[in-house]
Structure 1
Amino acid sequence: MRAGGSTAAVSFYEEAPRRPGVEEVRLTTAPLRSAPARWDELAPRTAAGFFNGRAWHQAHADPDAAAWHGVVLGWVGGTGRPSLRTVVPVSHYDRAPARPMLDPARLFGSMLRGGRLRTPEAWGRVTLIGATAGYRTVPVCHPDDEHLWARAVQYAMPDDGTAAVLYLDGPTAGRLTRYFPRAPLILTHARTVMRIQGSTFEEHLGALQRSSRTLARREERVFADGARAIKVLPLTAALLPDLARLHPTPKEATAAERELRRYLASPLAGSAHVILCTHNGATIGYRLVFQHGDGLVAHRITLDPRRTGHFAEQPVLQSHAPVRMGLARHLQEIDFGVGGFTEKLRRGARLLPLWSLLLRPPLGWTARHTREVNRRRAGELFDAYAQDMDVDDLALLRLIAQTGMFAA
């Protein structure tokens, strides 16, 4: 990371209105482990914001040996008592990131029909800006300070190599392009989210498509017929032995317990809960969730294969129990993550396309490449999930597949 602006192949345009008076802006860098605690206060209090806070980043830093993880900090005010106003997580890779969902050559180049842009060598060193764990990026700042966030992004970019902001939802991506108008917007992946509707479970079901409503009611009846019950508890050390025993092998049990202990030892502990599935008082399954502001992030789900499988335990833990928890706590949204789309869509979740701002594309990248990737990615999502998608989400994917252009 360097100080000063970049001569990157993107233009930076600052459009936001200034506040009264003169703002002295200072940009600094820090290693991830030394980032100030106030970072968490700036992250939005939403499910998306959860993945962009200090606690999540420090607990999930990419272990890739080729990476350097840090932050750019945007301060406003004099040197006496400056105010931290924006935080930009940054990861520099000397070679292609080991994780496929972070590697631009695999995310974008592999979607092309041929040519050198399919190879990691074409992308050179890689700088990723935003959330590299959790796969959902939002600016860490007050909405009025997005111009400061954009300045910090520009500051974070080195003089060479590929640079990108990965995994933006459509509205956020569209809003941020005004600061980087020459940066291609590329359809990258998708995740499933559920808007919680109404004040009761029946009101929520009433807002879903008929097929989702019918399926949910049937699964809830089967679950009750099996004398299964749901209990929501804060994650504590006392629960860990029972949770670990649900995993089918000692290796998986050890790995799961290690992960849960890591959460308990981190600032994430206060937001971590487990949704327990029980039968006659014995725990037979659980779902790890995190509550952040008005959002719920649904994480690990585990079921004892010897005692489950006949009474809809999986769909209840996967979808219905998190909805009931959200209703009880007056939450707005559940983030179900980037996998298992079909089962979640069938139970009322929506498919949320995720975009990336390619701040500095590799040499030779053109608008034709952007359109080709967008068409193919949208076509793949359409073909795989069309039969279970909301009609508005389907129309959006169809438009992107036809034009190759950004749409949200």
Structure 2
Amino acid sequence: MRFTRLILGILVVLAALWIIVGEQMAGASGDAVVNARVVTLRADTAGRIAMPNRLLGSHVEIGEGIASVDDALVDVIRLNDLRMERAFLDAEAGRIEADLAASGAILEGLKTRGETFHARRLEEVRTRLSHARARLALLEERGAVDAGEQRVVDAVDPDQDRLPAEPVLFELALDHARERVEVLEIALAAAEAGVFLGDGYNDAPNSEQYAVVLEGEIAGLEASLTETRQRAEAVDARIEREEVRVNTLRGGQIESPVRGLLWTVLQSDGVTVQRGDPVMTLVDCASVMVTVPVSENVYNRLEIGQEARVRLNGSSEVLDATISRLAGSGAATVYEHLAVAPSQQHLERYDVALTVPALRDAGNEGCMIGRTGRAFFDDRPFDWLRGF
């Protein structure tokens, strides 16, 4: 019985020593801090800034307007010149359209006159041919009656279709009548084909000739109108680019590029800022991480991608984490764009950054910048108990 108690006592002492040594030797860190990247918003242009009053730490969403800059002295001379040039092109296009409308009306009138001329000209040739055939028939009939006898008759003037004063032989009059019929038949065939034969004038009436000239002028006006409209489109494109430039220089809303927290305000409402001046800083809650200092002994056992666990002070929940950066000792520069700067004691140790998915996925509600806790890199004897 005495040996049993001795053995149990030794086992209890060994178990206690194992627990104490295991808890103390496990890789762990104190002063773990929830941190995140800081985004600095700058003025896009010079001007007077308008900034609504917002509490530090208030939530902001992506695309939310936080401030605005307005420059009332932006140069718009070039934009005004382009708009004036566009107005001139509109006036020119209107003039060309009016000329086209007037020329079109004149052309329609000329075409109507040409059609009337064609119809009446055909009617005239057919009438003259009909009478020429009748005269020829009379002469041929008379020639058949008086065959063999030489007769003297009055000839027909080829131009005026009237009897001249001097007499000519009957055979000459008959030949002239036949010639007249043949010439009129040729003229009729040409007229039916749209060509009018005559001495001293062209094959088309004056109205038709002028219509041809007018059609050329209308084609030129249409080409000029097309050119003017294309120039107007080019000026419109230049005006659009100039408006973008002027609006950019005039200023506008400064929108949040991240979902996070308003961290610092660097300007006051109503002050004049220059292009590129910092206006405020925001914390990007999508980049939440945990920064921890560890001893050299623990640091040298760590690797990027290694699993770890984090427990925030005041919470019993243990969060899974992954080592994302090993910055070593004196890592002051890596904190230049982070929300929480390291303490002097932190910089004297070795810096480790942890990615904690549970904090990142929580959004603004889990953006608990500045919360402290502890990080663990090895299993500990009481981990099974902490799970409860």
Interval of TM-score (by shorter of Structure 1 and Structure 2) = under 0.3
Instruction: Give the structure-1-normalised TM-score.
Output: 0.17
Instruction: Give the structure-2-normalised TM-score.
Output: 0.18
Bigger relative contact order, structure 1 or 2 (CA pairs below 8 A, ≥6 apart) = 2
Q: Which has the higher helix share?
A: 2
